[in-house]
Amino acid sequence: MKRNIFLSLCFLALSAIWVGCEKSNYPGGVVSPYIPIFDLRSLYKGTDLNLTVDNMFGSSKISAVVVSDHSGNNLPAGLLIVQDKKRLNELRGISIAIGPEAANYVPGDSVVVEIAGGVLKRVNGLLQITGVDGSDVTKVASGKTIPANRVGANLILSNPDKYESTLVAIVKAGFDPVPAPTAVYGGEKIINDGFDNLTLFTEANATFANTSGLPFTANYYGIIISKQGADGKIIPEHRIRTLNDVVPLSSTPEIADIVISGFINDVSGTDGNYEYIQLMATRDIDFSVTPFSVVVTNNAGTAQPTGFPVNGWATGGGSTSFRTFKFNLTTGTAAKGTFFYVGGSTKLINGASSTSISNANWIRSFNYTTTNGDGFGTKNTNLLANSGNAFGMAVFKGTDVTKDTQPIDVIFVAAGGSLFSAGPPVVGYKIANTDYYDVINPITLQSQPFYRQGSNTINLTYTTPSDAAFYYKLGGIYNANLGRWVKARTQTNFRLTATSTLEELEGVFPAATTENPDGVAPTRLKQ
């Protein structure tokens, strides 16, 4: 009897093991009938794929939101374009060829599409599902909100598959070159959002193809549609659906005559009278005719006056330390595209006993450890902070700077300290329209004229360790004709030595390597 019980238990155990070894993607659960688009796109390996329940892990459908709008005739005909964010919070889209019925759906429609039996393939470079029709689509809701998805052109170009068939916003984009007043949308146009150039494509039969009056800068909402180049590579194009996808931001250029291109805040040894800021002129400037000023702000906890800067960049400083400190630029000249410097009177590249760079173009230099700022700012041993709360620098046209004066360029390092208060009254440091900051939020179109207000939260970071003589090189490309950055500035830090040269600040340095074949270029103008 005991032997029979033992054999029965063994049989049951073996049965359990056999059942447990059966393949299952979802052990202990029910397979969802809906496959995320992220997973769907990953199934494509370069050849046509017949979609089945088996190769879709037990699923047969997708559930997504429509982003296509065929009323403007600017999308490939017959494609229903949908997107979802159901895997890893990653937004992905797919185009589905259902024929003329695609025009019956509008952005915000929520649909379920039966895709088992369809074919996943690239057609003219665009990944899509074919072999389904309008009867396979069921609309389950409408009016769904589609959040704005701001994406830099550089990201789309580097990974077009990720953004293909999704709705994206190309923000603060301008045409390059500037179009003539009679220019129309039709055809290929190059837009630049400060990160890279991207093709804005409009079909010849689009309802707005012959519309002129192209904005100087605008937000362009639209869908990324890929095509295949002659070399087989996938080329992304941005297609607005109707003119409602264009949100004009400005009609004229706002050109900064001077931009901030680099600085050192922590030289080897004592910092006092050795710190400096590098700037670049975007046009020929005679400072005796057209004066400017440079203001720095130090927001250490002990900087006076404490609290939020009621007078902004014009706050000045107390008896022992400053919140803001000003240099007036009223003499000398700078040619278009050249660098000039503002800072301590020693004019040494990296503190005491280092290379003299007095042969550089110094527009304003004095011993700020013994002399107060031009108009405001108490003499101090540290012009720019080394760590802790935020410090910043701004360029102003003219020498009369008040709390209401808007700069023409601004850079901040770090984000700590009493920088911005929503009030009332609103208090803070005003910013300019730059590669980093926007006086008007480009997405919400709300006013945000201060650092740390709204979307104005970008900043450079402190270097470590301290006293290591890191120079901040802010390589970028500024187009003085467009009045905008066509390549945003980036923070590159490298250590200066006692024998470093001016060429390291103004030329390509660090030099090209296998990892970085272009080296590190300084800020420059697009010619």
Q: Model confidence over 284-304: pLDDT tens digits?
A: 999 999 999 999 999 988 888
Tokens encoding 100? 């003329």
Show Cβ contacts of residue 524 under 8 Å, excluding neighbours closer than 6 positions: 280, 337, 475, 476, 477, 478
Tokens encoding 321? 């330390």
- pLDDT category at 109 given cuts 50, 70, 90 is very high
Please say whether the beta carbons of 129 and 51 come within 8 A: yes
- pLDDT category at 16 given cuts 50, 70, 90 is very low
Distance CA 75, CA 68 (A): 8
pLDDT at 118 over 50: yes
What pLDDT sits at residue 84?
97
Radius of gyration of the chain (CA): 30
Give the Cα-Cα-Cα angle 69, 140, 123 (nearest 5 degrees): 45
Q: Which helix (H) or strand (E) holds 67?
A: none
Distance CA 279, CA 296 (A): 13
- pLDDT category at 177 given cuts 50, 70, 90 is confident
- pLDDT category at 20 given cuts 50, 70, 90 is very low
* CA end-to-end span of the chain: 97
Q: What is the percentage of the chain residues whose pLDDT exceeds 90?
A: 87
As a whole number, the mean pLDDT across the chain is 93
Q: State which CATH number among 2.40.10, 1.10.3470, 2.40.50, 2.60.40 fits the domain covering 153-250.
A: 2.40.50
What pLDDT sits at residue 123?
96
pLDDT digits (tens, 9 = 90+) for 383-401: 999 999 999 999 999 999 9
Average the pLDDT over 223-234 and give the result. 92
pLDDT at 25 over 70: no
Distance CA 100, CA 196 (A): 35
pLDDT digits (tens, 9 = 90+) for 498-521: 999 999 999 999 998 888 888 999
Distance CA 160, CA 148 (A): 18
Do the two domains 37-141 and 153-250 of this chain adopt the same fold? yes
pLDDT at 42 over 70: yes
Query: Domain limits of the chain?
Result: 37-141, 153-250, 253-527
pLDDT at 23 over 90: no
- pLDDT category at 29 given cuts 50, 70, 90 is low
Residue (of 287, 258, 286) closest to 394 by Cα position: 258
What pLDDT sits at residue 7?
44
What pLDDT sits at residue 10?
46
Show Cβ contacts of residue 20 under 8 Å, excluding neighbours closer than 6 positions: none
What pLDDT sits at residue 31?
81
Distance CA 450, CA 463 (A): 25
Distance CA 408, CA 521 (A): 23
What pLDDT sits at residue 8?
47
CA trace torsion 125, 130, 134, 136 (10° rounding): -130
Exposure b/e, 73-85, CB count within 10 A at least 16 = b:
bbbbebbbbbbbb
Distance CA 216, CA 209 (A): 18
Average the pLDDT over 171-190 and give the result. 94
- The domain defined by 37-141 folds into OB fold (Dihydrolipoamide Acetyltransferase, E2P) (2.40.50)
Please say whether the beta carbons of 329 and 293 come within 8 A: yes
Average the pLDDT over 64-81 and give the result. 98
- pLDDT category at 28 given cuts 50, 70, 90 is low
pLDDT digits (tens, 9 = 90+) for 405-462: 999 999 999 999 999 999 999 999 999 999 999 999 999 999 999 999 999 999 999 9
Average the pLDDT over 26-51 and give the result. 88
pLDDT digits (tens, 9 = 90+) for 470-488: 999 999 999 998 899 999 9
Average the pLDDT over 139-165 and give the result. 96
Tokens encoding 287? 């400072």
95, HSE (Cβ side, Cα atoms, 13 Å):
26
Distance CA 40, CA 174 (A): 35
